[in-house]
Amino acid sequence: MTEMTTDELKGSELEAQFLAQVRAAGLPEPERQYQFHETRKWKLDFAWPDESRMIAVEIHGGVFSGGRHTRGVGFTNDRQKMNAAQADGWFVFEFTAGMLDANEAIPLLKDLFELLDEVDEGEA
């Protein structure tokens, strides 16, 4: 497994776990904390902002402990953010700790990158 830099460890442990999985799978390196919305200053945990891809990943912790993402205002705010990202053309995927532990994120992202590569090749 690739060693994390100090900057990378500033994010959550779940984000570090996801980034390690991305690197181990040989997927392109994502941008972290990518600001996608000008007026709201919303950021995506991970993003591949290429015009032909626009793939985003949000990592959610505290799902079973009543974390911010699962309570009223926090949950509503997150939905507004995700809806805005999707309306702007982003493919947005959201993963929990359990999903990362079950290795659900990487196969899905690999399939999507392969599909988008095929589309890009077909347009060339």
Residue 105 lies in a domain: yes
Q: What is the pLDDT of residues 75-102, one digit of tens each?
A: 888 889 999 999 999 999 999 888 999 9
Q: What is the pLDDT of residues 31-57, one digit of tens each?
A: 999 999 888 889 999 999 987 789 999
Residue 24 lies in a domain: no
Residue 60 lies in a domain: yes
Residue 56 lies in a domain: yes
Helix axes 105-123, 13-25, angle to 10 degrees: 50
Residue 85 lies in a domain: yes
Assign residue 77 the CATH number of its domain: 3.40.960.10
Residue 63 lies in a domain: yes
Phi/psi for 96 (5° steps) reads -100, 175
Residue 75 lies in a domain: yes
For the entire predicted model, the pTM comes to 0.79
Residue 21 lies in a domain: no
C-alpha 25/C-alpha 2 separation (Å) is 11
Q: How many CB atoms lie within 10 A of CB 121?
A: 8
Q: pLDDT band at residue 1, thresholds of 50, 70 and 90?
A: very low
pLDDT at 9 over 50: no
Buried b (16+ CB within 10 A) or exposed e, 99-118: bbeeeebbeebeebbeebee
For residue 70, the enclosing domain spans 31-123
Structure-token pair, residue 76: 């509503």
Based on the structure, what is the number of domains in the chain?
Answer: 1
